[in-house]
Structures are given as C-alpha cells and as structure tokens.
C-alpha cells in the first residue's frame, strides 16, 4: 500500500493496537497525528515512527468531547495541510457485572468509545467534505459488541453502537466518496493479557506450537502488528469500493462479519400473534434457531 501524501489521525495510538495502526500507516507513507492522554506515551510513539523514517506529531487530549475531536482535526490540518484518514481507536475498560456497575463506570466507557467515535467522525467528515476529495474513516469494534461478553455491559453497548453508526455513516457519506468501515480486532495487548482464559495462548505466542497456532487461527489472537495491515488497506485507494462493513482481524484470521438478519420468519394470516400462538409455534420453528451469546470456540489442542 502506498499512502504517500495522505494524512491520518489515529486516536488512542500511544500503545497497543493504536500504535500498531499508526506505525503501519506511517510505514506506508502517511503522515500521522498520534493521540494519547499521556504526553510521555504519545511522544514515545511519535519517536518510534520518526526514528523509522516516518512523519508524526502528537496531540495529547482525552477523546470524547467535541473540543477534543476538533483539536485532533485541527492538528492534522495545521501540521500537514489536510486530513484523509481517521482511525477511531481510543478506548478504556471498566468491567463489572450489571448489578455492580456504577453510572460512572458505564458513562466513562460510553463517553470514550461511543461518543468519542461520534465526535471525531463528525469533525473529520466535515473537514473531508470541505476538501472534496473523499476520505477514509475506520472505526474499531470488538467481538464483545458482536456477540456479548460477561462483565462488559458498557463495552458491549459502545462497540455494538459503533458498528451501527458505521452502517449509517457509510450511507450518509457515500456521495462525498468517504468510506466508513469497522474493524473487529483481537490481539495480545495490555487489555487482553488480563483475561484468564487467554493467558496460555498469549504465552504460547512466544514459543509457537499447536497452542499458538490454535490461538492465532481459532481465537484470532496474535500481535497488534498482525491487526494493522487491514487498517492500511482500508485507508488506501484499493479499498475505495468497500464501505459499511465490519471486518474481523487478528493473528492469522481475516473475516467479514455479517449484518444482523432474520433467522426464521413465520407469518400469521391477518390475525397477528397472540401469546398462545407464539408459544405453540416456537418449539417447532424457532427454538432450534435461537442465537448463541458470547464467542463460541472449538476445543483447543491437547
């Protein structure tokens, strides 16, 4: 991919997946605005990019507000003259079960992930439409937003909402030739290293073998760099015809998620559906098609 002359903003790109995205975009030739709430982390990320020959600056701001979003767009325009690519990656976790979750824990995650994605996309879309040369907006979903995960009410709501917004924005921005897609990444990061069932696979990544292969292929678990190539692809001219999609990436696994759709349909004959009628038909026609919740994995190798 050749992104020479393109300018990208990557939110939450001081470390982990965000840093991998920013580094890959810079490697392909884009100038990058790195974002983090920690100035030292952001500057270290910039040095990583510039030491490798790339072009990057830091904008230290907490994503969520309209002011923060505008500051990121303004930094790109001031430093590099334009904005072509936005990667909405910034995020936090505040995990706990629904009966223990506080308003503050819920709001913090929604503000950073969902509202932050909205405010940054709005600011970027305004600038890209003014430029009149199209653009690329890449949002970050999660398997939790697609199928749910225990203890992540706030995160699941935010990530599912992001993919819903992507589908809407893809329609709204099509005339301006701005594509909008979601990626659904999995990687060994500081976030995932705290998940107990993933720890054996993360450890196996260092040594290889069947467990590492299972993790990379069935769990989509690899390094942050493994998930970065699809971001550079979606930012490129090669992806001009792709919009409104949710693309899974991680380890050795690349996948296209389907949109929600009706699994089973039955029609009444002008009478609607009473509770008794639903109860009568459910076991035969609907029960077998009930959807699972949470990620479903095959048994790992022994």
pLDDT confidence of residue 89: 98
| Portion of the chain with pLDDT greater than 90, in percent | 90
Cα dihedral sign, 276-277-278-280: positive
**Has 258 been annotated as catalytic?**
no
- Residue 47's pLDDT band, with cuts at 50, 70 and 90, is very high
140 beta partners: 183
**Has 159 been annotated as catalytic?**
yes
- Residue 196's pLDDT band, with cuts at 50, 70 and 90, is confident
pTM: 0.95
Q: Which of 6, 13, 21, 155 is catalytic?
A: 155
**Has 302 been annotated as catalytic?**
no
Q: Distance (Å, rounded) from C-alpha 211 to C-alpha 136?
A: 36
Average pLDDT, the chain: 96
pLDDT confidence of residue 206: 85
pLDDT confidence of residue 194: 74
Residue 56: burial class (beta carbons within 10 Å; 0-12, 13-18, 19+): buried
Per-residue pLDDT of 255-270, as tens digits, reads 999 999 999 999 999 9
- Residue 298's pLDDT band, with cuts at 50, 70 and 90, is confident
pLDDT confidence of residue 79: 98
Mean pLDDT of 146-162: 96
Q: Distance (Å, rounded) from C-alpha 177 to C-alpha 298?
A: 41
Q: Which of 6, 13, 142, 201 is catalytic?
A: 142
Q: Which of 6, 13, 159, 220 is catalytic?
A: 159
Chain centroid to Cα 186, Å, comes to 10
pLDDT confidence of residue 192: 78
Mean pLDDT of 39-44: 98
Q: Distance (Å, rounded) from C-alpha 170 to C-alpha 175?
A: 10
| Portion of the chain with pLDDT greater than 70, in percent | 100
Per-residue pLDDT of 100-114, as tens digits, reads 999 999 999 999 999
Q: DSSP letter string over 166-229?
A: HHHHHHHTTTTTEEEEEEEE---STTGGG-GGGHHHHHHTTT-SHHHHHHHHHS----GGGGTH
pLDDT confidence of residue 225: 97
């Amino acid at each position: 991919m050749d992104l020479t002359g393109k300018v990208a903003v990557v939110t939450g790109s001081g470390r982990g997946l965000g840093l991998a995205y920013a580094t890959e975009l810079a490697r392909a030739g884009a100038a990058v605005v790195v974002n983090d709430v920690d100035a030292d982390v952001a500057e270290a990320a910039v040095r990583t990019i510039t030491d490798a020959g790339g072009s990057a600056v830091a904008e230290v701001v907490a994503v969520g507000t309209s002011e923060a979003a505008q500051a990121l767009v303004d930094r790109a325009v001031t430093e590099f003259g334009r904005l072509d690519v936005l990667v909405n990656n910034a995020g936090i976790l505040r995990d706990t079960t629904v009966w223990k979750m506080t308003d503050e824990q819920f709001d913090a995650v929604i503000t950073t992930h969902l509202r932050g994605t909205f405010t940054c996309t709005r600011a970027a879309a305004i600038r890209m439409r003014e430029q009149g040369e199209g653009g690329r907006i890449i949002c970050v979903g999660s398997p939790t937003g697609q199928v749910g995960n225990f203890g992540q009410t706030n995160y699941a709501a935010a990530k599912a909402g992001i993919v819903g917004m992507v589908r809407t924005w893809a329609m709204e921005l099509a005339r301006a030739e701005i594509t909008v897609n979601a990626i659904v990444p999995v990687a060994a990061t500081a976030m995932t290293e705290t998940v107990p069932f993933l720890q054996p696979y993360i450890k196996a990544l260092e040594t290889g073998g069947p467990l590492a292969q299972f993790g990379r292929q069935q769990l989509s678990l690899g390094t942050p760099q493994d998930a970065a190539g699809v971001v550079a692809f979606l930012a490129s001219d090669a992806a001009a015809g792709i919009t409104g999609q949710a693309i899974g990436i991680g380890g050795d696994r690349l996948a296209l998620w389907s949109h929600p759709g009706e699994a089973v349909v039955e029609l009444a004959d002008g009478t609607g559906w009473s509770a008794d009628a639903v109860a009568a038909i459910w076991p035969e026609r609907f029960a077998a098609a009930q959807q699972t919740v949470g990620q479903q994995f095959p048994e790992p190798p022994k």
